[in-house]
Structure 1
Amino acid sequence: MSGEQFVTGIDVAQIPFATEHLAGALELSQEMLWPYRLEDWGFALELGQGFVLRNGAGTVIATAAWWAYGEDHASAGMIIVAKAAQGRGHGARLMDALLAAAHPRTITLNSTAEGLALYERRGFVRIGVIQQHQGVPDERHQAPPASLVRPMAPSDVEAVARLDRQATGWARRQMLDRLIQAGDGHVLVRDGEPRGFAVSRRFGRGHVIGPVVAEGAADARALIEAALAPLGKVFVRIDTAATSQLGDWLESIGLRQVGDATTMVKGPHIPPAGPARMFALANQSFN
């Protein structure tokens, strides 16, 4: 991409994010060294919506996407501006369009350090930190006893949706159904009832484990062990809150912390009542 394409911005058009823009979006994420595959972009667009900016040559120079969780909540992400086009207000333009489209929902996102000022100017407040852990596990992991964690069955989906709602406060059944369809699910059972779950699926450089929902860190660890066991020595990514009490353990098994992001919210924020809590995200865009 050449700087000459973005001299004035007059010929930059904002249009709805469509399938025809996926290849251009992939090029943007590659330029930023983000690990998305074309399939990851397609999966995100299938479940959400957003906007792109195209220059006069038809090149995608910026993206922004969001996902509705009912009428009250949404998450936002995949907000990228080409390096040659930065500093011209393109990110602000797309963010304003996204906020208008998602209104009046409360919006959650995970921001890089570079994006904090943009979001704070639009009323987002910081509520936490997400730590990105990844790598190839140092050794093969044994699954917990089947009496504690077992493969997810179709009959579990209602309970899984209820646990997710407890952990997030969001109604995102469509998202969960698609994540489960795309990956391998595990359910933690206690007293005959599902009390937590995890989903492992292909993403980026290998696999991502998330969401992981449980009532405590020990249960979350058991679910992650169950997800790791069939994967063997492959690249794995887990995005977990700094307060999850999982960071040291993830480091000890070879999943090093390689970065972090600031969780931000615009709109009324009521912490989920639980007892189930979110221990790992589906990814930093979906939350």
Structure 2
Amino acid sequence: MDTATLPDHRTAADPVALVPFAPAHLPGALALSREMSWPYRLEDWDFALRVGRGFALERDGAVIGTAAWFPDEADHATIGMIIVAGAAQGRGYGTRLVEALLGAAGPRTLLLNSTAEGRALYARYGFQPAGTVRQHQGPYRHRGAAAPDPDLRAMALGDLGAIAALDRAATGFARRPLLERLIAAGEGRVLLRDGAPAAYAITRPFGRGHVIGPVVAGSPDEARRLIAASLARLDGQFVRIDVPEGAGLSPWLTGNGLPQVGDALTMVRGALPPAGPARLFALANQSFH
């Protein structure tokens, strides 16, 4: 769908316009996320809409709804940031936003992480359950010094090609541009095997503190080593990490002082690309996975 030809559903009784998301919408989007108790900062909204594309619902100059999608370099995309103001819910605005996303994405395979309230809406458009994401977070307190891991080092600019290949093997998505922005916004670590990057983790500022993710590794042990090294640099700070249920990291994270505080249902529309043997152990964000 060309955003220049978005359907205009405005009437005298309901003068709500669906428009492409623009920088002017950022303060209104931030207010919506605060209403939903999402911990986004203005910088987080700006980052998301620079790596993706979005829509806003406007009424009398006020933002009453948002939605975004994040295409990869192939035929897949994720969708998220779907919010409708509480006072405007129940009037079909969520449906308008989802239909705009589907029109923009075209035939791509689509992935999303849904709240309990949104599952029925997405199911109506052919999204099927594909897993669960566990959200862990809290103030982190480092529990004593650990011996340096000789196989870990800071991510270097020359690692990007290997990181992008590992990420595609784990997710099936071709998302090098997203990885470039994530690395630029934070810092990364790689785990070496035979001198070459075999796993990676990225940490960046987000919300109330920092988020660790994505984390891609060949085994839970490798993922724990990368996460432990990232946590060691975040002593005394608020940390969030979103992990797939099948990653098996939830008990370990809870034991390290990051309790599970919520979950989301991963849903897919279309056929997910094959992935492996590397696996995704932590998400960059529930909206762009």
State the TM bucket, normalised to the shorter chain. over 0.9
The alpha carbon displacement at 1:270 in A equals 3.4
Q: Deviations over 1:66-104 (max 9, x none)?
A: 011023000101000000000000000010011010111
The alpha carbon displacement at 1:147 in A equals 2.0
Which residue of structure 2 lines up, in the alignment, with residue 285 of structure 1? 287
> Is 1:46–2:73 an aligned residue pair?
no
Letter in 1 for 2:53: Q
Letter in 1 for 2:150: S
Structure 1 residues 102 and 188: CA distance shift in structure 2, 3 A: same
CA–CA separation in structure 2 for the residues paired with 1:29 and 1:141: 36
Q: Deviations over 1:196-241 (max 9, x none)?
A: 0000000000000000000010000000011111111100000001
CA–CA separation in structure 1 for the residues paired with 2:257 and 2:221: 18
Which residue of structure 1 lines up, in the alignment, with residue 126 of structure 2? 123
Which residue of structure 2 lines up, in the alignment, with residue 239 of structure 1? 242
- The answer as to whether partners of 2:191 and 2:199 remain within 8 angstroms in 1 is yes
Structure 1 residues 111 and 135: CA distance shift in structure 2, 3 A: same
CA–CA separation in structure 2 for the residues paired with 1:9 and 1:112: 30
Which residue of structure 1 lines up, in the alignment, with residue 117 of structure 2? 114
CA–CA separation in structure 1 for the residues paired with 2:73 and 2:146: 35
Q: Tell me the TM-score normalized by structure 1.
A: 0.94
The alpha carbon displacement at 1:166 in A equals 0.3
- What is the number of equivalent residue pairs in this alignment? 280
- Structure 2 SS opposite 1:275: coil
Identify the range of structure 1 (223-232 vs 31-40) with the bigger mean alpha-carbon deviation: 223-232
CA–CA separation in structure 1 for the residues paired with 2:23 and 2:31: 14
CA–CA separation in structure 2 for the residues paired with 1:138 and 1:54: 43
The alpha carbon displacement at 1:62 in A equals 0.3
CA–CA separation in structure 2 for the residues paired with 1:159 and 1:63: 35
Q: How does 1:117-196 map to 2 (within 5 A)?
A: 117-140=120-143, 142=145, 145-196=148-199
CA–CA separation in structure 2 for the residues paired with 1:225 and 1:138: 12
The alpha carbon displacement at 1:142 in A equals 4.5
Q: Deviations over 1:176-198 (max 9, x none)?
A: 00000100100001121211000
Which residue of structure 2 lines up, in the alignment, with residue 18 of structure 1? 22
CA–CA separation in structure 2 for the residues paired with 1:61 and 1:142: 48
- The answer as to whether partners of 2:141 and 2:235 remain within 8 angstroms in 1 is no
Q: Tell me the TM-score normalized by structure 2.
A: 0.94
CA–CA separation in structure 2 for the residues paired with 1:190 and 1:34: 38
CA–CA separation in structure 2 for the residues paired with 1:141 and 1:46: 39
- The answer as to whether partners of 1:209 and 1:227 remain within 8 angstroms in 2 is yes
- The answer as to whether partners of 1:28 and 1:81 remain within 8 angstroms in 2 is yes
CA–CA separation in structure 1 for the residues paired with 2:166 and 2:24: 36
The alpha carbon displacement at 1:143 in A equals 5.9
The alpha carbon displacement at 1:9 in A equals 5.9
CA–CA separation in structure 1 for the residues paired with 2:20 and 2:144: 44
Letter in 1 for 2:282: A
Identify the range of structure 1 (70-79 vs 32-41) with the bigger mean alpha-carbon deviation: 70-79
- The answer as to whether partners of 2:18 and 2:55 remain within 8 angstroms in 1 is yes
The alpha carbon displacement at 1:7 in A equals 11
- The answer as to whether partners of 1:197 and 1:214 remain within 8 angstroms in 2 is yes
The alpha carbon displacement at 1:32 in A equals 0.3
Structure 1 residues 173 and 270: CA distance shift in structure 2, 3 A: closer
The alpha carbon displacement at 1:140 in A equals 4.3
- The answer as to whether partners of 1:184 and 1:201 remain within 8 angstroms in 2 is yes
- Structure 2 SS opposite 1:243: helix
CA–CA separation in structure 2 for the residues paired with 1:172 and 1:266: 18
CA–CA separation in structure 2 for the residues paired with 1:209 and 1:144: 21
RMSD in angstroms over aligned alpha carbons? Answer: 1.6
Identity %: 59
Extract unaligned runs of 5+ from structure 1: 1-5
